[in-house]
Amino acid sequence: MLAAEAGNFYDEYPFDWTERYRPAELATVISPVLIRLLDRLAPNAFVLDVGCGPGRVMTYLAYRQIRALGVDRSFASVVLMQQRCQLPGIVADNLALPLAGGTADLVISDGVLHHTEDPALAFAELCRMLRPGGLLFLAVYRPGGHYEWLYHFPGSVFRRAVRHRLTRALVHATALPLYYLVHVLRSPRKRSWRGARNLFYDYFVTPRVHFLRRDTIEQWCRRCGVRLVEFHPRPIGNVQAFVIEKQ
């Protein structure tokens, strides 16, 4: 996404929604496909988490003592990540990563690519980071699910409403408490008000979401000289996951 737009939005509403960053609990809020990849990494592997946010996956990497670098457009998110796991991080855009290519054994893009202004370009940048034989874990929103409808319809109302002080206050007094209640009922003791607010903004107010088809990802794979080795249509929530290998 546009650098200033993304930075401003996720600086104010970081994707920081779980209060539980202990390893056993993190494993319940990270895709099982990604957990399996992380647990199989060689001891000397290097991981690049592009769109690391406040450190949900990076904290798990720190626990596993895996060498990793976190990248995010949001300065506030990178600071939170470094405070939590003491791993290095940089502020950068996934459309133009300021890093040498061909160095990562695993590149993670978990719920990030669908927010970018140019997903195809961002995908090419992720692939550029991989060494030959390296893997890309890509999780993006799937088309045709209930979330696509929610983002386009009630979401469009919320995005207009939060631009103005009075209507934003109305959203915070009505829709946001209802959203919080639903999440508390579904996941007792795992949701704080702050976390629910951040999730609400990420799901409904985030300025851009692309719902990417599997055949689109496969087309990008052919263009970038990589191959799809695993596809999981719904490993967790509203996303689909791809494991892609650089040839």
Residue 66 sits in the same domain as residue 174: no
Q: Please give the residue range of the domain that contains residue 88.
A: 3-143+208-246
Q: How confident is the model at residue 3 (pLDDT cuts 50, 70, 90)?
A: very low
Alpha helix segments (H runs only) across the chain: 3-12, 23-26, 32-39, 56-63, 75-85, 119-129, 146-152, 154-161, 165-173, 175-186, 193-200, 214-224
Burial of 119 (0-12, 13-18, 19+ CB in 10 A): buried
Residue 132 sits in the same domain as residue 231: yes
Adjacency order of strands within the sheet including 46-50 = 89-91, 67-72, 46-50, 104-110, 130-141, 239-246, 226-232
Average pLDDT over residues 175-195: 80
pLDDT for res 123? 98
Name all contacts of 172-180 with Cβ < 8 Å and 24+ positions apart: 175/200, 176/200
Q: What is the CATH classification number for the domain harbouring 117?
A: 3.40.50.150
Strand partners, 141: 239
Residue 56 sits in the same domain as residue 109: yes
Average pLDDT over residues 11-32: 79
Instruction: List Cβ neighbours of 162 (8 Å cut-off, separation of 6 or more).
Output: 168, 171, 205
Residue 190 sits in the same domain as residue 97: no
Residue 12 sits in the same domain as residue 67: yes
51: left (phi over 0), alpha (psi -120 to 50) or beta: left
Residue 150 sits in the same domain as residue 133: no
Q: How confident is the model at residue 201 (pLDDT cuts 50, 70, 90)?
A: very high
Q: How confident is the model at residue 2 (pLDDT cuts 50, 70, 90)?
A: very low
Place of tokens 């995908």: 123
Residue 188 has pLDDT above 70, yes or no: no
Residue 124 sits in the same domain as residue 180: no
- Number of compact structural domains in the chain: 2
pLDDT for res 89? 97
Q: What is the chain's mean pLDDT, rounded?
A: 91
Residue 71 sits in the same domain as residue 57: yes
Q: What is the biggest distance separating any 2 CA atoms in the chain, rounded to whole angstroms?
A: 54
Average pLDDT over residues 57-75: 95
- Report the distance separating Cα 141 and Cα 209, nearest Å: 8
- Report the distance separating Cα 17 and Cα 200, nearest Å: 10
Q: How confident is the model at residue 17 (pLDDT cuts 50, 70, 90)?
A: confident
Which percentage of the chain shows pLDDT scores above 90?
75
- Report the distance separating Cα 49 and Cα 61, nearest Å: 10
Residue 87 sits in the same domain as residue 196: no
- Which of 8-12, 84-88, 91-95, 239-243 has the weakest average pLDDT? 8-12
pLDDT for res 189? 58
Residue 74 sits in the same domain as residue 152: no
Residue 25 sits in the same domain as residue 66: yes
Instruction: List Cβ neighbours of 118 (8 Å cut-off, separation of 6 or more).
Output: 95
Residue 117 sits in the same domain as residue 226: yes
pLDDT for res 10? 87
Burial of 235 (0-12, 13-18, 19+ CB in 10 A): middle
